[in-house]
Amino acid sequence: MSSATSTSQPSAIASGTFRLGGDLTVNRLGYGAMQITGPGVWGPPADPDGAVRVLRRSVELGVNFIDTADSYGPYVSEELIAKALHPYPEDLVIATKAGLVRTGPSVWVPLARGAYLRQEVEMSLRRLKVERIDLFQLHRIDPRTPVEESLGELKKLQEEGKIRHIGLSEVTVDQLAQARSIVDVASVQNRYNLADRASEDVLEYSEREGLGFIPWFPVGTGSLARPGGPLDEASSAHGAAPAQLALAWLLRRSPVMLPIPGTKSVAHLEENVAAADIVLSDAEFESLEAASR
């Protein structure tokens, strides 16, 4: 058994790789940049310099896939990424999103009209200081806007060379299939973790079709971490935190899984990345699999 506690530096390289969109190789354990903002994902963080340190440390630890969105702050997360990491390492893949408007802390309003998405792509290009966005995700399908309009505009931007790959967030299998009739879809980002597997069918579809599956809130454990439970027992056996075991389980669950745990703490970041070295036994994996259903 591997332990999460080691004198050597943890590395996301241990999580293995995935070819996003068939041509962008990323280490499967990435970093989600939502938490480097203020409370309610609103405004700047209390410690901007600390956020910069976390971003730089993530790259030092082998993370080469960073997920953000125009709505994180709004704009704050993208600006901090550019401040911390530009000019970017050659292998760094930055994914961003649009489709949710912010009117206050913890308020998220779907808006995916074509003209609005075009505006947000242009602004993200400026904030991130890139000529093309590696992965641009529709943050939500807007019930007031035909998906053909939303994705049609992203396809135009892709044809103009401003977007490399297109992804979706929080979709059903039917919505994903419909979207793929309009554009090539490289990835799906749905809420998924040990304690919340409502998107199991979307994950299975993604695996069959070779799409990257980006689980947000990946370290949720719910009651599985209760004393004496299967997650608690596995954590004790590995000398690891329950969240680390939750990440290790995700990485083993599917080869298309791309977890993006987020944090504003360097120590917590290092703990998350160390999960890439944890090897679950068949019995441990199956026990967690059964308990989480």
SS3 per-residue string spanning 252-266: HHCCCECCCCCCCCH
| Radius of gyration, CA atoms only, the chain | 18
The Cα–Cα gap between 282 and 285 comes to 5
From the candidates 31, 72, 192, 205, give the one annotated as an active-site residue: 72
CA atoms within 13 A on the CB side of 103: 5
The Cα–Cα gap between 173 and 166 comes to 16
Q: Has 116 been annotated as catalytic?
A: no
Please enumerate in sequence order all residues whose Cβ is within 8 A of that of 78, keeping only pairs 6 or more positions apart, or say none. 68, 69, 70, 72, 96, 124, 127, 128
Residue 253 corresponds to which amino acid? Answer: R
Q: Which residues pair with 196 in a beta bridge?
A: 193
The Cα–Cα gap between 33 and 94 comes to 10
Q: Which residues pair with 166 in a beta bridge?
A: 136, 185
Count CB-CB contacts under 10 A for residue 195: 17
Q: Which residues are catalytic?
A: 72
